Structure 1
């Protein structure tokens, strides 16, 4: 049985640098629903649930191993020279992926998606339902079998030279994709961990931001894996990803920054997606024996058909601005085979056929349809 009953889905080793005096005892919490800052909240009560990962001692030990490696790497990053090592890079990638998959917000999205699928399929009973703990267990299995999925991305640490802090949240490991969100070629698709143009964000301290990025698409000028920002707008742009991605709470180290946090959130709050996933339904429209066509309908109409297609779509947040430090790579490239797989990074093409290279040149409209999008 697991030795710890109170299990954190955002670990205290991560939150430490955002706590008062980095003592890991109290933290300032800004709740976005009430628009209120709660000063000096106990850290032990943040982002935790009883037996969140279940009672598997081996799983708990494996998670603690990743967290310990992160804690040591972060200590060296803070206290050591500004020279990112391969060991630190690997630890940061593993920790980001674990954190991305294991939060309560991620598990709730899985539960909600499963509920929508079982309802339209007419499946009932415990055999088909998915709870939070089951979703967490599935996420951990996904992590174990796919922990190298982002190994090809480059890592850069951003040092914040301004007087305004990076903040973090109850869902701090953020996946975004500037290229995918701005090119007509991807307007009908979504993106995931193997997609061209991925950007991964994780605030490490109020002064240090970690970015993992697709170097075939983006360019970040850096020295030994470090870059700097010195303008408040860049800080706001990084923080916007936390505001848009969090479930309920933002964490800030110093309470005197609460007005900055409140004002920054108010500026972009209307960009928060109302839903994090969408379930699309299509029913058989006609068939000629060789081909079948389906039409998109609402749930009520789909429920009455024998043949239907159910498609789950992730709703990604669209930030109003992007940090200026993230530039486009000259002669950048993406890869596709024009199938439902979308655009995959070169690292993931070995098991697929027919992929070819395209330039990243952004096109707001289809070249043959000036009225499109």
Structure 2
């Protein structure tokens, strides 16, 4: 089975939840480096040629099968907006794995590998004298092919290991009741922490995953976040047993949520409308 040349690190089915009303295939984008908004075809954003294929590995088909399964649950959730739907443990497990994969499969994570490789290379060159016979090999590192291989291995090894950081959180469905849109980005799994540096396993970390302009999944630290619609409890077991929901009725809440996505993105923020005025003002 031949794989497509353009391989999306953010699935097209997901991006279509944020499509422009004027077309089934257009989405509004904002490039945070050029500070310019533009419209683009969903097929041409958040993708690169043969992104998941290397001489040692090929994950495109495997990832497409996972997307096919998870897309059913995400579409159902976007359509019905029923937070109790998340109490189904199989659905929660499926979405946890999908989010874990989405967190580590993006171009942002590949660039992280490149940047840290150069940092490590610089430290080594300062501390160790490279033997002449290895100098050429050392100068070539990290090559694009090496980085791709490392990233694909990273996706395979860590997607299941990161699963627990999603599944065992307190699940909250945020319903947007304002006139503003939730945004998403080319790195849509965003982490925010009001106290500590953000990290999946860091205490007090919140994970945000916008599903549509009207809906966002929030995963909260169960040790510090009590049920919203029940009496407060210190029991972690009770706290994570049932999903709950929040309604955003204040524009400020939506704006803050969107800015978390902006901080997380690699290059582009996406929205249903071209409503990026707050970004062009800064």
TM-score, L = length of structure 1: 0.62
Check 1:207–1:115 CA distance in 2 against 1; reply closer, same or farther (3 A cut).
Answer: same
Is 2:121 aligned against 1:118? yes
> Which of 213, 233, 238 lines up with 2:252 in the alignment?
233
Query: Structure 1 residues 103, 130: CA separation in 2 closer, same or farther (over 3 Å shift)?
Result: same
Higher helix share: 2
Alignment partners' CA distance in 2, 1:115 and 1:49: 22
Question: What residue is the counterpart of 1:53 in the other structure?
Answer: 52
Task: Determine the structure 1 residue equivalent to 2:41.
Answer: 42
Which residue in 2 is equivalent to 1:331?
none
Which one of 103, 106, 110 corresponds to residue 107 of structure 1?
110
Closer/same/farther in 2, CA of residues 100 and 253 from structure 1, 3 Å limit: same
CA-CA distance at 1:136 after TM superposition: 2.4
Give the structure with higher Rg (CA): 1
2: CA distance, partners of 1:135 / 1:30: 30
Q: Distance in 1 between matches of 2:70 and 2:16?
A: 12
2:31 counterpart of 1:28: no
Which residue in 2 is equivalent to 1:206?
213
Contact 2:182 2:214 in 1 (8 A): yes
1:149 and 1:193 in contact (8 A); partners too = no
Per-residue deviation, residues 60-98 of structure 1 (Å, max 9, x unmatched): 232112212221011211233612332332222212211
Cα distance, 1:2 vs. partner?
5.1
CA distance in 2, matches of 1:224, 1:100: 21
Shift of the 121–81 alpha-carbon distance from structure 1 to 2, 3 Å rule, reads: closer
Distance across 1 between alignment mates of 2:44 and 2:280: 26
Following superposition, the deviation at residue 178 of structure 1 comes to 2.0
Alignment of structure 1 residues 1-373 onto 2, 5 Å:
3-21=3-21, 24-39=24-39, 41-54=40-53, 59-80=59-80, 82=82, 83-85=84-86, 86=88, 87-122=90-125, 124=135, 125=137, 128-129=141-142, 131=144, 132-150=147-165, 151-180=167-196, 190=197, 192-219=199-226, 221-222=228-229, 224-255=243-274, 258=275, 261-263=276-278, 265=279
Q: Is the 8 A contact 1:29 1:250 kept in 2?
A: yes
| CA separation of 1:209 and 1:59: change in aligned 2, threshold 3 A | same
Cα distance between partner residues in 2 of 1:139 and 1:101: 8
Structure 2 unaligned spans of 5+: 230-241
Q: Is the CA contact (8 Å cut-off) linking 2:52 and 2:58 kept in structure 1?
A: no
Deviates more, 1:60-69 or 1:214-223: 214-223
Instruction: Write the deviation string for residues 204-239 of structure 1: whole angstroms up to 9, x where unpaired.
Output: 000001111111022362585322110000001100
Task: Write the distance in 1 (CA, Å) between the matches of 2:2 and 2:115.
Answer: 27
Q: Is the 8 A contact 2:18 2:212 kept in 1?
A: yes
With CA pairs under 8 Å and 6+ residues apart, which has the higher RCO, 1 or 2?
2
* Inter-partner Cα distance in structure 2 for 1:130 and 1:159: 44
Q: Which runs of 5+ in 1 are unaligned?
A: 181-189, 270-373
Partners in 1 of 2:24 and 2:149 — Cα distance?
30
Offset of residue 22 of structure 1: 9.3
Q: In 2, distance between residues paired with 1:134 and 1:57?
A: 7
Q: Which has more strand, going by share of residues?
A: 1
For residues 241 and 25 of structure 1, the distance between their equivalents in structure 2, rounded to whole angstroms, comes to 26
RMSD: 2.5
